[in-house]
């Protein structure tokens, strides 16, 4: 249950997480650190800490999480989720937080640029003549610069 003493915006974020994504289990976290210890993203960037993200949610600081880029550092490898002794779906929680951030217009600019590339080309990285030359040199067939099927499917979704 969401604390009624929270500011309206924080209560709305927590309520949304609980109702839409079923993430109320975060309160069962006892901060053992297993999630952080096995996290490859944390090894690369110590600013990312799944245990801290859970703690911030437990302390009703969801708004602060959505305003930071920290949630975008997760590599979605599911290591934390698979190792959590309490069965907290941490990666799913991070995805839910990202979804809320996007809905509120709080995603990093690169996320929007990547989405536009996938919508327009069907891939994240544009292929150029250099890529085609490297493929030919390696004995690989040429690739179409645009994945038509992906572009068509994404247009149908909008």
For residues 36 and 80, give the distance between their C-alpha atoms in angstroms, rounded to a whole number.
7
What mean pLDDT value characterizes the chain?
81
Per-residue pLDDT, 52: 94
| pTM for the structure as a whole | 0.69
Burial environment of residue 158 by CB neighbours within 10 A (0 to 12, 13 to 18, 19 or more): exposed
**Better pLDDT: 45 or 26:** 45
* C-beta separation of 69 from 37 below 8 A: no
Q: What separation, in Å, do the N-terminal and C-terminal C-alpha atoms of the chain show?
A: 34
Convert the pLDDT of each residue in 38-93 to its tens digit: 999 999 999 999 999 999 988 888 888 888 889 999 999 999 999 999 988 899 88
Q: Enumerate the domain spans of the chain.
A: 8-103, 116-157
- CA geometry: angle 33, 39, 45, nearest 5 deg: 105
Per-residue pLDDT, 145: 66
- Considering the segment(s) 8-103 as one domain, its CATH architecture is Orthogonal Bundle (1.10)
For residues 49 and 34, give the distance between their C-alpha atoms in angstroms, rounded to a whole number.
11
113 confidence band (pLDDT: 50, 70, 90): confident
């Amino acid at each position: 249950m969401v604390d009624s003493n929270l500011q309206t915006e924080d209560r709305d974020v927590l309520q949304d997480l609980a109702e839409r994504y079923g993430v109320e289990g975060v309160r069962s976290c006892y901060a053992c650190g297993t999630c952080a210890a096995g996290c490859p993203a944390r090894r690369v960037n110590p600013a990312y800490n799944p245990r801290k993200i859970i703690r911030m949610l437990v302390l009703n600081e969801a708004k602060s999480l959505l305003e930071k880029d920290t949630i975008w550092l997760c590599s979605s490898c599911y290591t934390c989720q698979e190792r959590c002794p309490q069965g907290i779906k941490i990666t799913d929680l991070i995805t839910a937080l990202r979804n809320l951030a996007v809905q509120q217009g709080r995603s990093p600019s690169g996320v929007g640029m990547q989405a536009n590339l996938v919508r327009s080309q069907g891939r994240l990285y544009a292929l150029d003549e250099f890529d085609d030359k490297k493929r030919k040199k390696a004995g690989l067939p040429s690739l179409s610069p645009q994945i038509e099927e992906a572009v068509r499917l994404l247009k149908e979704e909008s």
